[in-house]
Each structure stands twice: as structure tokens, then as C-alpha cells.
Structure 1
């Protein structure tokens, strides 16, 4: 299959930069297993609080040999988990990142502490040839350092002096490796997490003031580069906001505990991102499913928002990140109104421009399919297509493009190749309600059309109206010439929504909330998949409206809440 370099020169540039980055990383890998200090290494002098809630049942699973990580259950059958080489990459990545130590900390009993210590000891005893290269990828190595610092009390509870010294040396060696490799970290979350881990490691090491100042300065620069003024992340992933906050909020507290002034960029990023997190939340606490967001972590969101001192209503738009929020009464509607992120930070981005979600009374009704828990294989690519979003597709083609080569995707991580280059937006309010109008040109190149979507939310929140239109792009005759419907408008329903045809419309029921759907023409109900569930993909339904572009170029539709 062609790599697509002829059609997309940016792929060639991405490939060249990635080859250079990997070459630099391999140079650092020559020293991947440094010898420990000749003398002793200090134990962490402070703790980094882990805001993610642990599950003691997962810790018990380790004990009996049933290990649940990254949405996959693996039977150990008496083997060390670190000896496994053939399991799925996401499972192994989570294993070597050690974030699962929070489950042992949550259990808190002496047996759990002993088992956690035993697992860390197994890893420390691995020979240099036995440690998989995956464990030293930047984001995984940074996660391991952060987890060891955060859960040192659990690991060291009841430990003898020999283990404590071995653990301290191991942590120091991992930190040195991370510092040496920091310059070759990939753009985006991996680079940011490395910088956070280096600051945290410096803060808990006695007498590391100079190292902390330097690491904090670089972290501040990275935060300024990656966190927009509106609090969104450059990846445009709502889940990235909570992931970054989950490490920045404890880091800010650690600065205070150690009596070290935190850089202004850390405070600024936290203060911007907490309102952004509130912006993306539906009434049930779940984050909107745009650009890589998946199964919700309600406890983490609640723990983070406890630090939000604004305590006001969520903001209505995120201009730099490209999102709008319309809320009235019990109804919340969120829309993606931005261009795709830059290709080098788009590995989790979706082709969902102009997609919407809405919830009512804490019940989600219209959603996007979201990102699967297991981020590998065909499910991941399917979840990123425009058809997996509540918006309009043309000719079953996505509004943004992907590489046509699986080999390129594996090497580059599956970047999104931008389709829309402009998304003009207009928002108005009147005594009747809020009107949001946006358009994108992602279908201009292949089909000669611009897609415009107009959304209206009544002042009482009881009515949502929409119009999806196709306009012929200036100077481009449209290239569609077939008798079949070329356009398809989709509204994916949350799996807990019960839907039935009733008269000329559809009746949607979720708990005590009842809504009706009406549209031009007869809406069809089809099967769909909801990926964003911790237990795995769930079957659901979608409302489908065909649009024959040779016959008409607009569709009117509305949702009304039952009195």
C-alpha cells in the first residue's frame, strides 16, 4: 500500500523528524542501564500525592495471577509479569509504567505493601538485557519515576535497610536515565510528562536545589508551549486536560511542602486548566468524547475540581482549543469547532470536526463513539473516523485524513492529516436562546463542498434545533456524480438510551429524561458501537439521516424534551 508521501508531503517531514528523534534516543539507550551509585542514594524526602483512585481488587488480581491492565486480563500462571514479552503493547506499557501501584496503596494492608515491594524488587533485579526497550520509552519511564515517588511509602512499608537502599539507587538511576533522554522526547504529552517527572524527582532529592531550578524552568517553557490560554491542550483531547492536571496539582503541592517557589507557569497552567476541565464535563461528570477522550474517571475529575477556586459556571467557549458549550436549564451541548491539531501531536486526534454531544439532567443522550480502552488494532482507527461522530459525512469519507499505510501508522503513531484548514464560527444570543453557526472545508478538496452546521438551544433548554448544509466551495465544481445518497448525518446514542419509532419521530428515554427527535424525511435506526466504556466496547444505536446531494443540500432536525 502506498505511504501517501506524494499526496501528503507533511508525512515525509514527520518521518524525517521521527527518524532523527529515534536516532538520538538510541544514543541515550546505550546507557539505558547505568550502574548504581558507588555510594548510597538518598530516599525520597517527600511524597507526591496520587489523585487517581486505586482499586484493591486489581491489587488482589496481581496476587492470584490475574492482572487487569489497559482493558486486558492476563493470566500470569506463576510467571513474573515482567517476564512476559508477547502480551499486547498497551498492557505491557501500563505494567512497566507502575501506575498500578495506586491499587496496592489503596488496599493499604501489610500483605499488599509486601506484594508491591516484591514486584518492584522483581523489576530492580532484572538484568540489563532482560529489561524491555518499551520500558524505557519516554512517557513510560517518566510514569515509573512518578509512580515510585508517589508510592514510596507503600513500597518501603516494612522494608529492611538493604531493600530501601536498593530502591533508592534504582530511583536515582531511573531519574538519571530520564534526564539524559529528555532531549529526545516526542512532542506533546510524552515530553511534558518527562519534564514533570524530572521536577518531582528533584524536589524529593535532598540538596538538589540547582537541578530543581533548571528543571522547573524547562517545565515552565513546555507548559507555555502546550497549554493554550483557554486551558486546553495542543492535542485538543479533553482527557489530556485531566491527565496533565492529575500530575500538576500534586506537583504544585510538593513545591509548597518543600518550601520551594513554584514557577509561575505551573500555577498559570493549573488555573487555566481547571475551568477547561469543568467546560468539558457533562451533567453526569463524564468528559465530552472528542479527539481521544474515552472512558471517564469520575473520581479523578471530582478530586481535581475540588482545587478549582472559581466555583462558577463553566465558560461558554474555548477559542484557542476550538470548542463551544451551550447550556440552558438541564441541557448541555458541546461542539467541536476547531481545526485538527498539528500532526506531531495528533496521534489520538479524531476526524470529528463539527461533531456534537448533548446531555440532559445528568443523562447523556447524543454522544460520539469515543476512544477504546484498548488503544490498538482496528477499533482505534474506526473510532477516529468521522462516521464514529455525531456529524455529517460525505461518501463515507472522513473530513480529516489518515495515512494509507499501516507501516507508517505504526512508525509515526497514527497521525491525523488535517482536512479542515478553516472553521469559521459565529455565536449569538437572543431572548429565544443561543445560536451557534460553524463550517469546515474538510470536504472541499475531494468533493468541492463546505459543510455548515447551525445549532440552536432554547432559553429553557427544552429544545435543540439544527440545520446541516452543504455549500459548493467557491471556484470548485463538485465532483460527485452518482444516484446514491452521498451524505449521511449521524447521531450516536449513549448505550443507556432506549429508543423507539413513534409516529413521525423517535422517542428517546434515559432514566427519567424523555426526548423526541424529528427531522426532514424519515430517520433510520442503525447499530453503532460505544467505545468509551471501561469494560470494553458496547453495542448501541445511532440515528441516521441520508442526504442525497443531487436532490438537496440541507437537513433540518430537532430534539425536544417531553413535558
Structure 2
């Protein structure tokens, strides 16, 4: 690990010297330039660019010294230089000022720069400059247009060189989108062919046999769908042939989107997901005439059942391969139960900033509504020499069974994540009886010859706004939501309430209350039953 990290840092420094050299600058500088011919409609970017109802005029900004501002956070510095803020500028603004801002940027940054030419910032800049051509290009003179075209080509050439080295799915797809846009906008066959070939490779390597992301990450599914649709609309509007594989992946991802969001309208907190409002994306899909439906009850390792008032979702999948586990959380057989839009039981959510210790806490099994043995997380995580976090252990799920009838639901599965260390298999059955508004859970601990006795806890995480009340009957705890009240009941083990942390909102946390059942494992198979019933 230390050798790999040291070698990586040495190679990184050598490459940095090369990228800043005159040799590399000459290599990515194009001698023959083409004119900008296709200019995409702004509406195509509606799913990724934030449009304000009230647009800002460029005259309202202090643009004279915009590139001389020093006191900016790294995040704001990136935002300033990716030029996505152009989408909030009124088209009636002074074109002369907009062009002047870009001209000054080109003068200062026409050579490679570590911070400004990294894949994400550079790709967004290309997309924004071309898409906002009414502000950035159309009224520029001949000399400016030559400068503009030259820097677009130079950045695209650099992007093609660097994107081959990236293992980041986010960077690869945004970069691919920028390359394809440059290809269709300048009628540049090389860029278009490279971009489409890269797109095909992304699709063939990133999805499982059911076209769900191999990472099992719901946010990633939405990200992919947004960009695939944008690319399709670029190709369609520019009268470029749309590859069959692009139509196919949009069709299947759309079904996945309907499964995890469209039919439930809730952010299910599994495997790197946090609360997101996708209503604007739904409006965008409707505007662009995309409609997706899915009748599936399990997909991507999730079982989701629903009716008009209740949603029950459970993680019934195995962990992704290590290279796809960058945002994976160790919560097998965890579940969320929702009544009329309010969560009765939830998972803790995901703290996305990997530099914060809360990220690892949010990944732990204890942060999920599932069973944990000896207070040990089922999956352990490691940081690689690039600083990214991946899972370093594996397990299998089996015995999956899903039933959805009018008056009876069942989601059932098991995992062997505790088999090696404790000789125990965890099998969970979640039943729901719609007529009674009653959930019945059965957690079965199946032992083998390598059984090692230890403690167990089954946690039930609650929303920060949920109130809980202990009763004189030690087997009952009352749960009070904004729209209903529920009774939690179990006679197996000791029931109590603890204070926890909720990470449902991106890179934020709140205190919450959690119900838990605790006890000791025994040599014979054990069954822990619990019920959550609506109080009428």
C-alpha cells in the first residue's frame, strides 16, 4: 500500500511536469480549426442547469476584475471557472460584456492549469460556452471567434487525453458529453467518433444484466439518466444518428428511475443516497416527452412494494464489486417503511464528504435499520492510495422471495455476512397486512458448526421529527409521526430507545431517536419477532 501510494505520487508529479510543458501545449493545440455550426437549445440542459425564474443581467456583476478575485473557497472557485453560472444570465444582457469576460479568461488560462483544466470543471466549461453561444459567441468578432474555437479545441484535445486515465464514472460521463457536444457543434468527426465509442464503453462496463448501475447507487442512476437524455437530445437536434445502444440504455434506466422514484416520490436512503427533490427532473422529462413505467417489484438489489398509502423498501442485494463501491453502505436487509409520505422507519442516510469521519459512520451497519452482531459492521472499508474509500469484504444474499397481494405483502431474504466471524446467517422476513396497517418482522439467526456466541442489536432508525414514548409495558414503544401514530411491539430481547444521527440531508446531520432490540445469540437457531401497528 505504501509502495503503491509512493509510486502513484511520483508518477503524478512526473505527469504534472509533462502537462505543463511546451511539448504538451503544442500537442493539444489544433492547427486546423472549424467554425461552430450547431448551437444547442438551452432547454436541453434543463435537468442539470439551475434556471432561476428571475434572470440576472451581466451588467449587475462586477466583471472588470472577476478573474482577479482571490478570496474564494475552492468550491466557489470551481463554480466560477466552470461557467455554469452563465445559465442564470439574462439573454438580454450585454453580449459585449459576456464576450469580454470569456476573452479575459482565455488570455489568462489558455495553457494547462491543474485546477482549471481538471475533467469536471473543463467539461462543464465546454458545455456551458457552447450551449450559451448567444451570450458567448454569436456577436464576437472574427478574432474573438478564432480564439474561442481554438481554446474549445485545445480543451477537448486535453480532455480526450485525460479521460482515458480517469476511473471516476462522474468525470467520464461529463467529459464524454463535452466531447460529443464539441463533435456535433463543430462537425468534427474525430471528436464525435471518440465520444460515442467512449459512451458505448461506459454503458457496457457500468451496468448489470438488468441495466441497473453496478454500484447499486440510486443517485448514480439518476445522474446517468440525465446525461444520457441530454446526449440523445444533442444528437437528435443536430440531426446526428442516435446509436441504438443509447436508446436502449435510456429505456431501461427510465424503468429503473420509475422503480426507485417515479412511482414512490420518496428518496429511499440506501447505498449512498440522500434526500433529493426530483420533481423538477420529472417536469423536464414530461417537457421532453419521456415517459417511463415499471411493474417490477425488485431491481438493482432492492425490493419495493407500494399501494396508495404505504411504501415498503428493503435492501436485498449483495455488495457491488470493490471498484464500484465508492459510495456503498453496509446495510444488508435494512428497510424503510413509509405511510402517506412520512417515514415510519428509515435508514440514517449518507454523509457524502469522504474527508469527514461521519462518512464512515454513515456507511456502518449500525446506521441502518437492520441486525448487527457484536457491534461490528458487516462490510469493512479501506481507503486506497488515491484517497477513495472502497469496501474490502464481501457477502452473498439468498432466499429472496417477494409477494404482493391485495391484503398481504412479503419481502424476504438472507445474507451470510456474519457467517465467517460468528457462524451465523441472518434471514429477514418483512410482512405487511394492508387491511390492518400492520408490519410484522421476523429476524432469524441461523447457526452453523462455527457458531460463536455474541451480542446482537436490531435497530429501527426514526426521522428527526418523530417522537417516541416508552410505556410501562417494556415490550411496547409508541411512535408519533406528523400524520399518524404507531405501536412498536416485541417480546424477544430487551427493547429500548437511543439517540442517534440522521444523515439524510447532503453533508449534514441531525440528532434522532432509534428503537433497538438487544440480546445475546444462542447456539440454537433464534427467531426475533417484532410488530409495528398503526394506532387507529
Fold agreement, TM-score > 0.5: yes
Report what 1:126 is aligned to. Answer: 108
Residue ranges of structure 2 left out of the alignment (5+ in a row): none
| Structure 1 CA distance for aligned equivalents of residues 271 and 510 of structure 2 | 19
Q: Does 1:29 align with 2:22?
A: no
| Structure 2 CA distance for aligned equivalents of residues 240 and 179 of structure 1 | 23
| Structure 2 CA distance for aligned equivalents of residues 261 and 279 of structure 1 | 29
Check 1:414–1:213 CA distance in 2 against 1; reply closer, same or farther (3 A cut): same
Once the 2 structures are TM-superposed, how far is the Cα of residue 553 of structure 1 from its aligned partner? 3.7
Report what 1:369 is aligned to. Answer: 348
Once the 2 structures are TM-superposed, how far is the Cα of residue 430 of structure 1 from its aligned partner? 5.3
Report what 2:460 is aligned to. Answer: 491
Report what 2:358 is aligned to. Answer: 379
| Structure 2 CA distance for aligned equivalents of residues 112 and 540 of structure 1 | 51
Report what 1:399 is aligned to. Answer: 378
What SS does the aligned partner of 1:270 have? helix
Q: Does 1:47 align with 2:20?
A: no
What SS does the aligned partner of 1:201 have? helix
Q: Does 1:169 align with 2:150?
A: yes
Check 1:184–1:535 CA distance in 2 against 1; reply closer, same or farther (3 A cut): closer
TM-score by length of 1: 0.80
Once the 2 structures are TM-superposed, how far is the Cα of residue 237 of structure 1 from its aligned partner? 0.4
Deviations 1:166-197 (A, max 9, x none): 33332221111111223212154433443333
| Structure 2 CA distance for aligned equivalents of residues 533 and 244 of structure 1 | 21
What SS does the aligned partner of 2:164 have? helix
| Structure 2 CA distance for aligned equivalents of residues 373 and 159 of structure 1 | 42
Aligned counterparts, 1:113-192, within 5 A: 120=102, 123-127=105-109, 132-156=113-137, 162-186=143-167, 188-192=169-173
| Aligned-CA RMSD value | 4.0
Q: Does 1:223 align with 2:203?
A: yes
Report what 2:181 is aligned to. Answer: 200
Check 1:329–1:122 CA distance in 2 against 1; reply closer, same or farther (3 A cut): same
| Structure 2 CA distance for aligned equivalents of residues 161 and 203 of structure 1 | 21
Report what 2:297 is aligned to. Answer: 316
Report what 1:478 is aligned to. Answer: 452
| Structure 1 CA distance for aligned equivalents of residues 25 and 504 of structure 2 | 38
What SS does the aligned partner of 1:126 have? helix
| Structure 1 CA distance for aligned equivalents of residues 496 and 453 of structure 2 | 27
Q: Does 1:445 align with 2:417?
A: no
Report what 1:349 is aligned to. Answer: 328
| More RCO (CA 8 Å, sep 6+) | 1
Report what 1:508 is aligned to. Answer: 479
Q: Does 1:558 align with 2:536?
A: no
Aligned counterparts, 1:211-250, within 5 A: 211-250=191-230
Check 1:533–1:125 CA distance in 2 against 1; reply closer, same or farther (3 A cut): farther
Once the 2 structures are TM-superposed, how far is the Cα of residue 121 of structure 1 from its aligned partner? 5.1
* Aligned partners of 1:392 and 1:488 also within 8 Å: yes
What SS does the aligned partner of 1:400 have? coil
What SS does the aligned partner of 2:201 have? helix
Deviations 1:269-314 (A, max 9, x none): 1100111112112877332122211230323441455367555455
